[in-house]
A and B are shown apart, each in its own frame.
Chain A
Amino acid sequence: MMEFYEANKDLLLFAGASAVKVLVFLNAVMGFTALLTLAERKVSALMQDRIGPNRASLFGLALNGLFQPVADGIKMVMKEDFVPGRAEKLLFALAPFFALVPVLALFSVIPFGDYVMVFGYKFDLQIADLPLGLFMVLALSGLAIYGVFLGGWSAKNNFALLGAMRGAAQMVSYEVVLGLTLAGLLMIFGSAGLQDIVRAQGRLLFGWLPAWGVVYQPFAFILFLVAAIAENKRTPFDLVEGESEIIGYFMEYSSMRFAAFMFAEFVEIILVSMLAATLFFGGWQVPYLYETGFILPGGAQLPLNHYLVSAMQVGAFAAKTVFFSWFLLVVRWTLPRFRFDQLMNLCWTRLLPLALLNILITGAVLLALGKV
């Protein structure tokens, strides 16, 4: 036993640390997702001058609706799990997993902090530091289409299929834009590893401006945000589901299978927020905060403990994620829905040429500065 431990010490340490990271990070994401379902309803209530859910209580303690996600979850589990008679049973059962799994898998490449030293070992605060992390994001988000599509097709319902067709067309189109907007970042940072990209954003421009992605690529950030909201299938791009009037791809789903689609959408909000923060807003970077503490542009220094620095960086990443999640919620309740032809025109005749132009200009500037 001891021999085996000694021989495979590194492997065991890696497996253990990874398991802990997966548990902690995914549970944090899941917890935040549950809160986000409540936040969505609270934000909509706020914007429509209502109060929103505030009755669900535990031992008479309502806390203004904080237990609503728990009540929702119990309700979803209790509902009848209905499968249409003509449905393709296996694919019908698989579709919710196709929607949820690629999104959850994507969290493995997102760096949520720099590193921590525990008992003399250095642990990266990222589940998997893949050198091609950015491509991984594109690959896995491309697989999310199958959830939508199988959900619509396997129910053998014409309305669900139409919803799925709209979804597939929309997601394939905006995926192209999403990929092209990220090309500019690749050119500037010269790496597709997300941790490398975040580390590169810790530099300063002109001695005072944090070299965040949004400073280099403000234009790409806007394109990314639009394409990401469209990939996420939320208003103003919610023609895929359209809860109240046009019927969506998951219309035959009920109970926890429906909840899985719903949950996937909220997890995607967090994912988009984390990607926006990671790629364009410095990830876990806090301006002027380095490994040893704050070093202000004037030269003033404030040395800090390693654990305090790490905690601040993880906190900064969480704060940025919360901010973008809030922003996406507000966008949903502010903008009206596009018509389908407008949606497609926006993608292929506006966003796509702009994304290509962005690549061209980025390349020209890099060439002019002699950075190639």
Chain B
Amino acid sequence: MILTAAIYFFGALAAAATVLMIFQRDPVKAAMLMLAALLATAALYLALSAQLLAVLQVILYAGAIMTLFIVALTVTPAAWRDRPSPASLKRVLGLAVCAVLLAELLKVAGPLRAAAASRDFSETGALDLARQLFGPFVLQFELLSLVILASIVGAVALTSRRRQAL
């Protein structure tokens, strides 16, 4: 019963933080709300007995990706404006598109009933995941590293070109 309550609580928290994030005008505050949503999602995973996923969510999304987001955001001029500019027509249109997308998402997600069987807490699933990743899916896994390599090369190329120009 506690677990069910926790699932609904953190689910509601994640949804509320996401909605607040969408309507937040200040980019850094929006990023902080997104962080709250990510952490609530991690807690949700934990309540669904998916420990590994919860921990990875915090390490990768909250710890690494959001940090880079926030660092990049604070150096943009918008983060230093005292009063954010009012919403323009373009943004209202954007909101309308969001509403359509949300409706579609709800239509798809409606029939889904997650079968979340709570498992023993000492079972982490880390070993199963590793066996899958380094077993049947090893080719895909290694291909993914190529994508990362490409992005590293791209980043180096971008920064080195700027260094030459200076």
Task: Report A's interface with B, CB cutoff 8 A.
Answer: 86, 88, 91, 130-132, 135-136, 138-140, 142-143, 145-146, 149-150, 153, 156, 161, 164-165, 168-169, 172, 175, 179, 192
Contacts and interface: CB of A to CB of B under 8 A. Distances in A.
Contact of A139 (B59, B82, B124): B59
Contacts of B28: 88, 91, 153
A131 B124 contact: yes
Most buried by A among B28, B55, B70, B79: B55
Contact of A131 (B63, B82, B121): B121
Nearest to A168: B71
Interface of B: 28-29, 32, 35, 51-52, 55-56, 58-59, 62-64, 67-68, 70-71, 74-75, 79-80, 82, 121-124, 126
24 contacts: A86-B82, A88-B29, A132-B51, A132-B52, A132-B55, A132-B124, A132-B126, A135-B55, A135-B59, A136-B55, A139-B59, A139-B62, A142-B58, A143-B58, A143-B63, A150-B32, A153-B70, A156-B80, A164-B74, A168-B67, A168-B71, A169-B71, A172-B68, A175-B64
Most buried by B among A130, A143, A172, A175: A143
B67 A145 contact: yes
The dominant DSSP class at the A interface is helix
Given A131-B124, A139-B58, 8 more contacts: A132-B52, A132-B126, A135-B59, A139-B62, A142-B62, A145-B63, A149-B74, A172-B68
B54 to A, nearest CB: 9
Contacts of B67: 142, 145-146, 149, 168, 172
A142 B122 CA distance: 24
A132 B58 CA distance: 13
A172 B59 contact: no
Given A142-B63, A175-B63, A149 B55 contact: no
B55 to A, nearest CB: 4
Nearest to B79: A153
Contacts of B59: 135, 138-139, 142, 179
A145 B62 CA distance: 10
**Complex A-B, nearest 4 residue pairs according to Cβ-Cβ distance, in ascending order:** A142-B63, A139-B58, A135-B55, A139-B59
Nearest to A158: B80
Nearest to B57: A139
A149 B71 contact: yes
Nearest to A175: B63
A227 to B, nearest CB: 15
A343 B53 CA distance: 32
A149 B70 contact: yes
A247 B67 CA distance: 22
Nearest to B74: A153
Contacts of A164: 74
A161 B74 contact: yes
Contacts of B29: 88, 91
Contacts of A156: 80
B33 to A, nearest CB: 11
A18 to B, nearest CB: 14
A91 B122 CA distance: 37
Contacts of A136: 55
